[in-house]
Amino acid sequence: MDRRGFLKVSAVTGSVLAAGSSLLMSGCSDHYDAMIPSGLTPQTLSGKEFAILCTLVNHLIPDEPGHPTVRDTRVAQRIDRELAFHQGKMIDDFKAALLLVEHGGVAHGTFTRFSRMTSEEQEQRLAQMVESALEVERQAFASIRLMAVFFHYTDERTWPHIHYAGPLIPVPNPPPADNRRA
């Protein structure tokens, strides 16, 4: 996701959130604090934004026995860190995208925050975003999804599950390509 690509997100999110401003103003910092791993302070996102991101990536890449979880691969932390290398507007837009996930259901008549939804409700909300007629909803979801999935699968703990042997660099004499047929 790019600051340049998300220029419209802030404005649209602002409109959506204005409609649900009473929801936003109702505190809930304890609710979000409880979702942040103990001792972790986000580098770029606020506590609330980071908590929303944690909730979202947990849904995008659900736990599976025997597989590393998104907590193991620190997907939310890595996205938060990545944002630190980008500048002003992109960060603003990413934050707006997270708020759109959390509160954007208002535009569809859903007044429960994403982070308070059941897993089934979260799935409905995400499906709503994927299929949305609002371009900005689709963009917000697609961009966060792309980053989450990318960072998860750059963690070497996922590699055995996808049959990826990893970089050859540690091997002094790299083996020949292993996928050639005679």
Partner 1 sequence: MILEYTDIKSDMTEEADAIVIGSGCGGAVVAKELARAGWRVLILEAGGYYTPMRGDFDQREDNMLARVDGGRGLDTSANTQINLTYGNNVGGASVHYWADTLRTPKDRLEVWEKQFGVQHHTEDELRPHFERIEKELNAHLATDERMNRMNQLFQKGGEAIGIHVERVMQARKNCIGSGYCMQGCAYNAKQSQLVTGIPAALELGARLFADCRVDKVLFENGRVTGVVADFMDRRTARPSGKKLRAKAPCVVVAAGGYHSAAILMRSQVPDPSKQLGRNLRANPCPMVFGLFDEDVVMWRNIPAAVGTMDFRLPSYENGKYKEGGYLLYPNQLPPAAMAALLPGYGREHRKLMDQAHRIGSAIAWIDDINAGHMELDSEGYPIWHMGLQGDDELQARDAMKKGALVLLAAGAREVIVPDPVGTRIRDPKEVAKIDTVKIGPGQMVFAAPHPCGMARMGPDPATSVVDNQNQHHQVQGLFVCDPSVFPTAPTVDPSETIMAFSYVAARFLTEQWSARPVKPA
H-type alpha helices, the chain: 9-19, 21-24, 29-33, 47-60, 75-83, 88-103, 119-130, 135-153
Nearest approach in angstroms of CB 126 to partner 1 is 8
146 binds partner 1 (CB under 8 A): yes
Is residue 1 a contact partner of residue 89, using CB atoms and an 8 Å limit? no
Nearest approach in angstroms of CB 4 to partner 1 is 5
117 Rama sector, left if φ>0, alpha if ψ -120 to 50, beta otherwise: beta
157 binds partner 1 (CB under 8 A): no
Site track 92-131 with partner 1 (rule: CB under 8 A), x = hit: -------------------------------x--x---xx
180 binds partner 1 (CB under 8 A): yes
Residue with tokens 């709503």: 128
Q: Which of 103, 106, 40 is nearest to 76 (CA)?
A: 40
* Positions that interact with partner 1 (CB under 8 A): 1-8, 59-62, 64, 67, 78, 82, 84-89, 123, 126, 130-132, 135-143, 145-147, 149-154, 158-159, 161-164, 167-169, 174, 176-181
